[in-house]
């Protein structure tokens, strides 16, 4: 390990303790029966695969029963139906590059969990990943990671006296960038092993005694501790790596290189139980797919990389007979939008599928196919069916093994488990509540239940059709919200606190409402159903001031047209010489007339401004002969009765100026006998004429 790598590791391993100088260190070990009871012998391994950027779940696991609506919603990225790999269950298909996932699924070594997310999603990469790695509520800011807290719970006295006889190997290893995930409350719990073959001892023969009653002494003592620990761990990691084997070659990618190192460390005898690897590039706002072939492009490359690497890892673990000890889980900060954008990509979304691999997984698909609206808009997103912490809780209880208090220490509260590991979880009616807690064990498939497993009244979020013009001018009240419901069997009571309004949707108004005269602001729509006291569905709708009208134009003199490209609205008004029209396109062509044209472009929102241009369209004057000796003939089309002809020399000085009547023949004759031989510029002007050309006088 080079000195710069030590500094990198030190920042990850020790920085937190600089801010906790009174941290109690000791030599005791905790929970000898736990998953981390020792690193002397081989045991179960958890590999976490971080997909940075937000993976597009709808192009990874495709709900085949929603293909029609998907084609409408995401024409720019939709996969061709004949290329999707049919999973053979629940009308689901896999991305064409996930053939290895299909093989693992057929071998019952893959668990797919659909619609995983969290309440009130955050669309920031950094904040959302922090939420996933800290396992915090969306409105809580936590500076430690759930896996770091798990390790810290098992080893409250770490890092003092580590490594030791019972724990000679690192508790966890990171192959990518240092993460929040493995940060405990008072220390960092992972060893960074980007290049295990390059380990070099940082400092030799140092064993100073510092005065730990002072902050300075505590920090120096901690730096020394981490240095010693890095030396000892580094040597063990290097030895395991050099002893390791890798029978099946990984694809040439950064993720493949990380998994090759994990393979060699495990096969070389390193008994670390937790590994973290990462694959970036999932923020596919553009070029997610190849325009000419949607099975290719950035996302396809990522899918192939993930597919090939996981499949090769499982083959290598099979080869060294360690696949029974293995559990691999993927996670990403969020999914992508239902609707595609115009850049052949998708934007930040909400819920997405999650994968768990291993010989011991309770294989299959958990969760319902996402519902795609028939008229999905850019703001529509998928509903979360499972909180991501349910997955964490299930892995901790079913794979890692914990004592009764660990889950609340790590996740801050208890969550309903999901069936992840074979035989570790029993849920007879499949409602997400285990039999030992289920008071209603015969609820129908797909029913929404409470924490006791008893059915509660619910309606899907897409039962409500909510449309808004979305904008209003400052100081105006021209915002509009239009509301309808699909299920018309109920009477709905709607309250909007911001307007103090109470509304009803029933048969008298055909279950439809139009709420207008709204100002700029956020509006909370609370729907209740008569006779269902516990039911509440809430939507947040924003009405904002629209952006300024933006317009770019180009004029075709020959065709007498003007093409405008606009942004800022969904509806535009054009007025050309007093004639008004409306357009629902952001680019269109206007017909102009010869002469001066006044063009005005506006929107329904006056605060967006008005774009005004004056465009002169000239009749096309023909002239002959050129070169000329006597008379120059000018053919002036149109209806003008007179024209002005001006002749300039090469330096721009006016030589002659004529005001000529245009005869019935439309041919104006101009004498050039008085002009000397040479080059001249002729300008012809009139009500509908504005033309300049060069003339040669012989």
User: Could you tell me if residue 215 is inside a domain?
Assistant: no
DSSP 397: I
Please compute the mean of the pLDDT values over residues 382-405 and round it to a whole number.
90
Q: Clarify whether residues 349 and 484 are in a common domain.
A: no
CATH number at residue 564: 2.60.40.10
410 and 404 Cβ atoms separated by less than 8 Å: no
**pLDDT at residue number 1:** 41
* Least confident piece of the model among 189-198, 322-331, 534-543: 189-198
In a domain, 627, yes or no: yes
Tell the residue number behind the tokens 């809430």, with chain if given. 538
Query: Residue 687 falls within a domain, yes or no?
Result: yes
Average pLDDT over residues 92-119: 97
* pLDDT band for position 224 (cuts 50, 70, 90): low
Lowest-confidence segment of 13-22, 435-444, 604-613 by average pLDDT: 13-22
Which residues have C-beta within 8 Å of that of residue 296, sequence separation ≥ 6? 289, 290
Q: What is the largest CA-CA distance in the chain?
A: 115
| 381 and 488 co-located in one domain | no
Confidence of residue 473 (pLDDT cuts 50, 70, 90): confident
Express each pLDDT in 454-464 by its tens digit: 888 888 888 99
User: Is 205 in contact with 221 (CB distance < 8 Å)?
Assistant: no
Does pLDDT of 371 surpass 90? Answer: yes
- pLDDT value at position 26? 32
| Same domain flag for 153 and 284 | yes
As a whole number, mean pLDDT of residues 237-258 equals 94
| CATH code of residue 511 | 2.60.40
Query: Which range, of 52-61, 326-335, 424-433, 651-660, averages the lowest pLDDT?
Result: 424-433
Q: How confident is the model at residue 470, as a pLDDT?
A: 62
Position 37 in a domain: no
Question: Which pLDDT score is estimated for 15?
Answer: 37
Question: What does the pLDDT read at residue 678?
Answer: 95
Residue 12: band (very low, low, confident or very high) from pLDDT cuts 50, 70, 90: very low
What is the number of structural domains in the chain? 5
Q: Please indicate, yes or no, if residue 631 is contained in any of the structural domains.
A: yes
Range with lowest mean pLDDT among 156-165, 308-317, 383-392: 156-165
Distance CA 596, CA 616 (A): 4
Closest C-alpha to 110, from 294, 303, 329, 293: 329
- Report the chain's mean pLDDT, rounded to a whole number: 88
477-528 pLDDT, tens per residue?
878 899 999 999 999 999 999 999 999 999 999 999 999 988 888 899 999 9
Model confidence over 252-266: pLDDT tens digits?
999 999 999 999 999
- 612-619 mean pLDDT: 94
625: helix, coil or strand? coil
276 and 135, same structural domain? Answer: yes
CB of 59 closer than 8 Å to CB of 299: yes
Of 505, 520, 543, the residue at which a domain comes to its end is 543
Determine which of 22-31, 594-603, 642-651 has the lowest per-residue pLDDT on average: 22-31
Single residue among 543, 568, 597 that ends a domain in this structure: 543
pLDDT reading at 346 higher than 80: yes
The one-character DSSP state at 581 is: E
Residue 690 sits in a domain whose CATH number is: 2.60.40.1930
Confidence of residue 14 (pLDDT cuts 50, 70, 90): very low
Domain check: are 609 and 528 in the same one? no
CB 279 within 8 A of CB 80: no
The answer to whether the CB of 427 falls within 8 A of the CB of 438 is yes
Q: Residue 36 falls within a domain, yes or no?
A: no
Q: Domain for residue 135, yes or no?
A: yes
Two structure tokens written together for 259:
């998994």
Average pLDDT, integer, range 330-334: 97
Q: What is the pLDDT of residue 625?
A: 95
On whether both 318 and 178 belong to a single domain, the answer is yes
| Position 220 pLDDT exceeds 80 | no
Over the stretch 62-71, which tens digit does the pLDDT of each residue have? 999 999 999 9
Q: Please check the confidence at residue 4 and state whether its pLDDT lies above 50.
A: no
pLDDT digits (tens, 9 = 90+) for 98-107: 999 999 999 9
> Do 274 and 151 touch, CB atoms closer than 8 A?
yes
210 pLDDT tier (thresholds 50, 70, 90): low
The answer on pLDDT for 379 being more than 90 is no
Whole-number pLDDT of residue 546: 82
Q: What is the DSSP string of 9-76?
A: HHHHHHHHHHT-TTPPP-S----TTSTTS-SSS---EEEEEEETT---GGGTEEEGGGHHHHHHH-TT
Q: Which of 38-52, 223-237, 345-359, 576-590 has the lowest mean pLDDT?
A: 223-237
Q: What is the pLDDT of residue 404?
A: 73
Helix, strand, or coil (residue 296): coil
Query: How far is 9 from 230, CA to CA, in rounded Å?
Result: 8
Spatial contact of 116 and 391, defined as CB atoms under 8 Å apart: yes
Taking residues 124-142, what's their average pLDDT? 96
pLDDT in tens, 142-151: 999 999 999 9
| pLDDT given for residue 7 in this prediction | 38
Q: What is the dihedral of CA 290, 291, 295, 300, to 10 degrees?
A: 30
Q: Copy the structure tokens of residue 660.
A: 């000529």
Q: Are residues 526 and 641 in the same domain?
A: no
Q: Decide if 204 is inside a domain.
A: no
Non-local (6+) Cβ contacts of 672 within 8 A are 628, 629, 630, 631, 632, 647, 695, 697
Note the pLDDT of residue 92.
Answer: 97
Least confident of 414-428, 574-588, 593-607, 642-656: 414-428
Query: Looking at the predicted structure, is the pLDDT value of residue 358 above 70?
Result: yes
- The percentage of residues in the chain with a pLDDT greater than 70, rounded to a whole number, is 90
| 167 and 273 together in one domain | yes
Question: Would you give the DSSP letter of residue 511?
Answer: T
Greatest mean pLDDT range, 154-168, 212-226, 409-423: 409-423
The pLDDT of residue 192: 80
Q: Looking at the structure, do residues 451 and 348 belong to the same domain, yes or no? A: no
Domain boundaries, position 257: 45-195+248-411
Which of residues 435, 455, 475 is at a domain's end? 455
pLDDT at 154 exceeding the cut of 50: yes
CATH number at residue 116: 3.40.720.10
Same domain, 372 and 491: no
Q: How confident is the model at residue 217 (pLDDT cuts 50, 70, 90)?
A: low
pLDDT confidence of residue 25? 30
Contact (CB, 8 A) for 321 and 382: no
Say yes or no to pLDDT of 298 above 50: yes
Whether residues 313 and 442 share a domain: the answer is: no
pLDDT above 50: residue 119: yes
pLDDT over 60 at 650, yes or no: yes
User: Do both 187 and 144 map to the same domain?
Assistant: yes
Q: In this structure, how many other beta carbons lie within 10 angstroms of the beta carbon of residue 5?
A: 18
The predicted model gives 203-221 an average pLDDT of 66
Instruction: Average the pLDDT over 532-550 and give the result.
Output: 88
Residue showing tokens 């390059």: 198
pLDDT value, residue 318 = 96
Name the range with the highest mean pLDDT among 327-331, 398-402, 478-482.
327-331
């Amino acid at each position: 390990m080079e000195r710069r790598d030590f500094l990198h590791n030190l920042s990850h391993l020790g920085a937190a303790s600089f801010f906790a100088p009174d941290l109690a260190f000791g030599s005791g070990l905790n929970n000898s029966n736990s998953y981390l009871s020792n690193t002397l012998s081989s045991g179960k391994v958890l590999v976490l695969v971080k997909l940075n950027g937000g993976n597009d779940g709808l192009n990874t696991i495709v709900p085949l029963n929603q293909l029609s609506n998907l084609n409408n919603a995401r024409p720019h990225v939709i996969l061709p139906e004949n290329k999707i790999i049919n999973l053979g269950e629940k009308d689901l298909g896999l991305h064409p590059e996930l053939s290895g996932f299909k093989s693992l699924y057929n071998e019952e070594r893959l668990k797919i969990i659909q619609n995983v997310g969290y309440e009130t999603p955050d669309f920031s990469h950094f904040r959302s990943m922090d939420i996933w790695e800290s396992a915090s509520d969306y409105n809580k800011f936590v500076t430690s990671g759930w896996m770091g807290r798990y390790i810290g719970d098992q080893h409250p006295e770490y890092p003092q006296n580590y490594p030791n006889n019972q724990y000679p190997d690192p508790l966890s290893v990171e192959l990518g960038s240092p993460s929040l995930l493995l940060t405990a409350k008072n220390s960092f719990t992972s060893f960074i092993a980007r290049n295990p073959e390059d380990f070099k001892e940082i400092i030799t023969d140092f064993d100073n005694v510092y005065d730990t009653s002072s902050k300075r002494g505590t920090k120096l003592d901690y730096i020394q501790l981490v240095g010693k620990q890095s030396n000892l761990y580094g040597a063990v990691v290097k030895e395991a790596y050099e002893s390791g084997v890798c029978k099946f070659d990984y694809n040439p990618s950064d993720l493949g290189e990380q998994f090759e190192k994990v393979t060699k460390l495990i096969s070389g005898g390193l008994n670390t139980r937790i590994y973290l690897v990462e694959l970036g590039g999932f923020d596919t706002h553009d070029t997610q797919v190849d325009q000419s072939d949607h099975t290719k492009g950035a996302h396809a490359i990522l899918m192939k990389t993930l597919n090939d690497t996981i499949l090769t890892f499982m083959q290598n673990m099979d080869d060294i007979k360690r696949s029974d000890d293995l559990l691999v889980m993927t996670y990403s900060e969020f999914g992508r939008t239902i609707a595609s954008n115009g850049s052949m990509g998708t934007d930040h979304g909400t819920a997405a599928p999650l994968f768990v691999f291993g010989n011991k997984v309770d294989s299959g698909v958990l969760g319902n196919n996402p519902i795609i609206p028939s008229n999905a808009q850019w703001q529509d997103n998928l509903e979360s069916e499972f909180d991501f912490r349910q997955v964490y809780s299930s892995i901790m209880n079913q794979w890692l093994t914990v004592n009764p208090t660990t889950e609340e220490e790590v996740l801050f509260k208890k969550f309903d488990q999901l069936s992840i590991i074979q035989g570790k979880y029993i849920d007879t009616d499949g409602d997400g509540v285990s039999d030992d807690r289920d008071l209603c064990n015969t609820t129908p498939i797909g029913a929404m239940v409470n924490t006791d497993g008893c059915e509660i009244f619910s309606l899907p979020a897409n039962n409500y059709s909510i449309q808004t013009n979305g904008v209003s001018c400052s100081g105006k009240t021209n915002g509009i919200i239009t509301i309808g419901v699909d299920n018309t069997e109920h009477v709905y009571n709607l309250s909007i606190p911001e307007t103090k309004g109470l509304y009803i949707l029933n048969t008298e108004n055909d279950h439809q409402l139009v709420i207008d005269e709204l100002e700029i602001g956020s509006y909370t729509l609370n729907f209740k159903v008569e006779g269902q006291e516990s039911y509440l569905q809430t939507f947040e709708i924003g009405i904002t001031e629209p952006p300024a009208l933006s317009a770019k134009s180009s004029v075709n003199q020959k065709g007498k047209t003007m093409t405008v490209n606009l942004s800022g609205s969904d509806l535009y008004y054009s007025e050309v010489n007093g004639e008004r029209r409306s357009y629902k396109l952001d680019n269109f062509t206007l017909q102009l007339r010869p002469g001066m044209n006044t063009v005005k472009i506006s929107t329904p929102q006056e605060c967006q401004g008005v774009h005004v241009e004056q465009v002169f369209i000239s009749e096309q004057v023909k002239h002959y002969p050129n070169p000329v000796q006597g008379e120059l003939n000018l053919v002036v089309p149109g209806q003008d009765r007179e024209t002005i002809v001006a002749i300039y020399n090469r330096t721009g000085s006016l030589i002659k100026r004529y005001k000529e009547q245009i005869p019935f023949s439309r041919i104006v004759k101009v004498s050039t006998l008085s002009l000397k031989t040479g080059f001249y510029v002729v300008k012809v002007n009139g009500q509908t004429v504005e033309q300049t050309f060069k003339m040669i006088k012989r």
